Amino acid sequence: MLNGQSLLSPDFGAVFEFQDSNSKETFGVSLATLLQCLCIAEQQHIVPPFEKDWEANTVPPALREMSTITAHSKL
């Protein structure tokens, strides 16, 4: 629950379609991939820290772990 409202489980297989504005080519990115990118952006201080309630209800621990940047990781 977040602010007294129950949340539906996200569909991590959902695919968002994007289109390149120059080439007009389209490509899909899954919700899981977008969340992984967001986790990495948070670690790099590109986006503000996640609210704990939102993170607990939206980002599965396994996905968060796969997105963890270590000293050995290269971007």
pLDDT given at position 4: 53
Tally of structural domains, the chain: 1
**Residue 60, domain extent:** 32-69
pLDDT band at 26 (very low <50, low <70, confident <90, very high): very high
Burial code of 18-51, b = ≥16 C-beta within 10 A, e = fewer?
A: eeeeeeeeeeeeebbeebbebbbebeeeeeeeee
2 or 13, greater pLDDT: 13
Asked if residue 14 belongs to a domain, the reply is no
**pLDDT, tens only, 32-70:** 999 999 999 999 999 999 999 999 988 999 999 999 988
54 is a domain residue = yes
pLDDT score recorded for residue 10: 82
